[in-house]
Structure 1
Amino acid sequence: MAGRAHGFILSEIVGGVSVIDEQKQDSALPTSTRLIRASAVFAMLLGLALAFVPWIIAASGEYNPMLVSLSLLLGLPFCIGAVGRLLFKIFGVTTGADFGWASLSVAMVVLFAGASILREAIICILMAAPFWAFGVWLGTYTMGVSLRRFPDRPRANGAVFLMLPYVMLGAELHLQPSAQTYVISRSVTVNASADAVRPLLSEMRNISVDEGRWNISQNLLGVPRPVSAVVIDQVRLARWQNDVSFEERIELNTGSEMRWRFAFPNDSVSRYTDRHISPDSEHLRVETGGYHLEPLTGNRVRLTLETTYTAKTPVNFYASLWGELILGDIQSNVLHIIKQRAEASR
């Protein structure tokens, strides 16, 4: 029904306007007229994007923000780029090579506006942006080729591209992405003895925002910083900023090595960072972690922090790049907190 509705709306728009050759577009339109027409195109494309959400609900039974779908990442922006290219031509807003930039600009605004309406976080937007940019460019280019080859068939051109995300979504329902396991590891050299470092692996209280180090994930993307870690009955209770909390259930502690399994008894991690980064979901599961202490000469130690997680998405490799950044930044920050405290206690 939604696909038919989109086709009907577009056909009505196109039906009342004849497609004009690009070289004959009115280049002398007043600025106010261009802005009004561009705003109309933006509103149509935003509506097109939001109208896709009910189909996701129908496909998954709910609006699942953890649903990583190629129809959302590529199919929808391809459709928006193509339809935007067609609408810009119809309304005479821009011409020639400007079509690509105009479609890309409007599509990025649609991405941010739609994400705002659906309460998506900045990390989600940044992760989707490269796919959207490529999808919009490809859709704009493909529609341009189609219009040059079939200039008298705007309805058919629009209808075909409108159906693409729905076709992709239907195909994805029958495909299961593979699961891949990744290990993120960071190390730091501490100018202190193992005896000074070892207690900090179990407990750290009253961590201030000034401790640790600057990093992209926590300083720019808004990932919370640690506040404290306290061990109770072989379970380390970790608290971060914004009331984020989780558990590290210790399975091994030899003095030089500590291993634990993560547990997330509440949704605070995803609620205060990004709903797409739920660490205990079908698509992402943060599983285990551990410290390793290696003695060095000169009364120093090398401390390594490791995290293992499993991703199950259509874009595992791309997602792993973000995992390397975000988890790596978190690890590096924790290690430098330990380093600073251990060296200060000498």
Structure 2
Amino acid sequence: MNEKLQSWLAPLTGLPVALIYGVLARLAFSAPDESGALSAMTCGFLFLVPIAMGALTVYFAPPNLQLSGRYAFFMPWVACIVTVLVIAAIGLEEVVCIVMALPLFLLLSSLGGWLMHLRKRKNYVSNLMHGSLLGLLLVAPYLVTPLETRLPVGDTIYHVQNQVEIAADVDTVWRNIIEVPLIQPEEQHFSIFHPLGLPKPLAATLSHEGVGGVRHASFENGLLFIEEITAWRDHDSLSFTIQRDAQRQLPAPLNQIGGRYFNVLDGTYRIEPLADGRVRLHLESTHRLSTRFDFYGGLWTRWVMWDLQDYILQIIKVRCEK
């Protein structure tokens, strides 16, 4: 029985070490922004910590498993998943942020595991792959990040467009976009991001028609966007700037909207009449992302905005077609 238990536990030998390293790294990289030397919103944390975790997982595994390419690639995933579950459970990170970072963590942890796997392969230049390599990987996040935070961060602007065809006339559609009466619970539908903590839209009011009018778009959890009309073509299009109401105290990660890393800038509704009497309604928006990993973060922010806009359009479609 003991031999069977040992055989079962052998693949998990490096997991506790990687878990401890990962949790301690998240605690160390706890500066709310880059004003501190260490912040989780850095490439040093997001890219180098999972590599170190993967390396630890394989380095402390039994020698026969270190020689397995499959083990070296996939076992670090277990270490990463367990680590992020612990981090979420103790409240060090929001679930939506963990989900967004997890694919990157898994891939890079495999890289770390593979480096340790190569160290054990025969006829490889093993002097380059001794414990000194592991030590370098472990301290790399702490060496790179303070240097990284000294570099400037640029802004990346993204445009997201959605459209939906509606079996209704232009007047009906127009009335349903300039203002959105309270969305009832039975009108809400599933979005993959709502279980992760992103709020559902609730309503939108308009102070007065025309340029200079102000829409108040409210969401769950107290999120409110103040939208000033910048272009108004009656029964045709509506454009507006977007600002989060900064007076409201919001939970993380909603409090990051309008902050250093992310902001929604503007939006436009446009009605396109179709020959068969239906309408194609377009909704587009612009948002800003300001990190050193926009190439990755932008994939998620564009998906989130696309999903939100599609969600709103589907509610408008159902209401107009009643």
What TM-score, normalized by structure 1, do the two folds share? 0.78
Picking from 263, 267, 274, the partner of 1:289 is 267
SS in 2 for 1:259: strand
2:238, 2:270 within 8 Å by CA — same for their partners in 1?
A: yes
Cα deviation code 1:298-342 (max 9, x no counterpart):
332221111101112222232222222211111111112112212
1:322 matches 2:300: yes
Q: How far, CA to CA, are the matches of 1:77 and 1:321 in structure 2?
A: 20
Picking from 216, 221, 238, the partner of 1:237 is 216
1:281 Cα offset (Å): 1.6
Corresponding position of 1:247: 226
Corresponding position of 2:203: 228
Corresponding position of 2:56: 83
Q: Which moved more, 1:42-51 or 1:301-310?
A: 42-51
Which structure exhibits the higher relative contact order, with contacts defined as CA atoms closer than 8 Å and separated by 6 or more residues?
1
Q: Which moved more, 1:51-60 or 1:309-318?
A: 51-60
Picking from 24, 31, 54, the partner of 2:28 is 54
1:277, 1:284 within 8 Å by CA — same for their partners in 2?
A: no
Q: How far, CA to CA, are the matches of 2:92 and 2:198 in structure 1?
A: 16
Corresponding position of 1:260: 240
Amino acid at match of 2:132: A
Corresponding position of 1:169: 145
1:138 Cα offset (Å): 1.1
Q: Call closer, same or farther: CA 1:268–1:327 in 2, change over 3 Å.
A: farther
Q: Call closer, same or farther: CA 1:57–1:33 in 2, change over 3 Å.
A: farther
Amino acid at match of 2:206: V
Q: Call closer, same or farther: CA 1:155–1:191 in 2, change over 3 Å.
A: closer
Q: Call closer, same or farther: CA 1:260–1:83 in 2, change over 3 Å.
A: same
1:32 Cα offset (Å): 5.6
Q: How far, CA to CA, are the matches of 1:143 and 1:176 in structure 2?
A: 34
1:268 Cα offset (Å): 6.6
What TM-score, normalized by structure 2, do the two folds share? 0.83
Q: How far, CA to CA, are the matches of 2:137 and 2:41 in structure 1?
A: 21
Corresponding position of 1:159: 135
Q: How far, CA to CA, are the matches of 1:204 and 1:276 in structure 2?
A: 22
Aligned runs of 1:1-346 on 2, under 5 Å? 29-31=3-5, 35=9, 38=12, 41-52=14-25, 53-57=27-31, 60-61=34-35, 68-89=41-62, 94-97=65-68, 98-147=71-120, 149-150=125-126, 155-211=131-187, 214-218=190-194, 221-232=196-207, 234-255=213-234, 256-266=236-246, 271=251, 275=253, 278-344=256-322
1:157 Cα offset (Å): 3.8
Q: Call closer, same or farther: CA 1:232–1:58 in 2, change over 3 Å.
A: closer
Corresponding position of 1:8: none
- Computed over aligned residues only, the root mean square deviation of the Cα atoms, in angstroms, reads 3.2
1:290, 1:306 within 8 Å by CA — same for their partners in 2?
A: yes
Q: How far, CA to CA, are the matches of 1:318 and 1:343 in structure 2?
A: 38
Q: Call closer, same or farther: CA 1:141–1:176 in 2, change over 3 Å.
A: same
Cα deviation code 1:68-120 (max 9, x no counterpart):
3211221001111112222224xx79553134433331222112222433442
Q: Which moved more, 1:152-161 or 1:307-316?
A: 152-161
Q: How far, CA to CA, are the matches of 2:222 and 2:160 in structure 1?
A: 25
Cα deviation code 1:221-248 (max 9, x no counterpart):
4432222111235221222233332222
Q: How far, CA to CA, are the matches of 1:138 and 1:152 in structure 2?
A: 16
1:63 Cα offset (Å): 10
Q: Call closer, same or farther: CA 1:308–1:270 in 2, change over 3 Å.
A: farther
Q: Which moved more, 1:46-55 or 1:77-86?
A: 46-55
Amino acid at match of 1:327: M
Q: Call closer, same or farther: CA 1:276–1:145 in 2, change over 3 Å.
A: farther
Identity of aligned residues (%): 23
Amino acid at match of 2:150: H
1:45 Cα offset (Å): 2.4
Q: How far, CA to CA, are the matches of 2:55 and 2:242 in structure 1?
A: 44
Q: Call closer, same or farther: CA 1:62–1:199 in 2, change over 3 Å.
A: farther
Q: How far, CA to CA, are the matches of 2:151 and 2:60 in structure 1?
A: 33
SS in 2 for 1:174: coil
The number of residues matched between the two structures is 310
SS in 1 for 2:18: helix
